[in-house]
Amino acid sequence: AFADGTHDLVCSVDDSAAQIKYNLPAVGGVCNANEEAQWLIDLIDKYEIFGTGRPLPATEETIKAYCDNVLKESESNHQFANDLHVGLKNAASLKPAVREIIIAASRPDFYERFLLLCKIDVGKAKKIIKRVNARMHETKQIKWDAIGHMLEALEPDSKMSLSHVLCIARTYITITALIHEDKDGVREYVRNRLRYFQNDIEKVEEITKVRADWDCELHEYKKPTIPYKSASYVLIKVLDKLIP
């Protein structure tokens, strides 16, 4: 618990939106991570909205506040890019190819993904948000399945190939989009919002000359807790092991 009585986010499949929204105590283990990489985990997690278990702002007032904040960060000398470059100076343990892949995420169109909801009519945005929030628990389980599956590559005796890991990442994007109804532009929004993750996959293919497998199924993750809550960060960890 923090000094003000609130609690850190607990990575448990049965976390309710209310637990997360109101910082209520939950049963399970707190998300743990290597302190050396915590800056990167926190930075990336701030920009992931699917599979967190947290609802998107759904009223006109909260949407406006959300957009004002995103726009402020976007105009603040591309704060994400600045934070990323500064942080990478202290991440000497990452392989050069992996660092290059991460840096690619900070290109100018990165922020456009976060402004998508803010560039459309508020009425349309509310319809999209309603449908996204309705699938909040499903997208969380999909994300956990993808993270858990990729983490198998970090096991000492794992034979998982880079092409299979890339397939898992791509399948995660596809299923996350398809789980949403193809109405009110929501599926298109989800695909566009996850485009940054697709860019990562394509950058890996470009650098390594390894293509994602054509087909793969996510392994169901059945444990009550998960060590990392960011799919992007887990992909980075796996890449750092598999890329020479």
What string of pLDDT tens digits covers the 244 residues of the chain?
222 222 233 333 333 332 333 232 333 333 444 454 676 677 677 778 898 888 999 999 999 998 888 777 666 545 656 666 655 555 556 788 888 877 776 666 666 777 888 888 999 999 999 999 999 999 999 999 999 999 999 999 999 999 999 999 999 999 999 999 999 999 999 999 998 889 889 999 999 999 999 999 999 998 888 888 889 889 989 999 999 8
Report the b/e string of 128-143 with b at 16+ CB within 10 A. Answer: bbebbbebbbebbbbb
pLDDT at residue 183 in the model = 93
pLDDT confidence of residue 114: 74
d(CA 199, CA 216): 19
User: What pLDDT sits at residue 152?
Assistant: 95
Q: How much is the pTM? A: 0.78
Burial class (CB in 10 A: 0-12, 13-18, 19+), 172: buried
pLDDT of residue 174: 95
Predicted local distance difference test score (pLDDT) of residue 116: 86
Please give the Cα distance from 62 to 60 (Å, whole number): 6
What are all long-range contacts of 80-89, with beta carbons under 8 Å and residues at least 24 apart? 80/43, 80/47, 80/106, 80/110, 80/111, 81/106, 81/110, 83/43, 84/43, 87/39, 87/40, 87/43
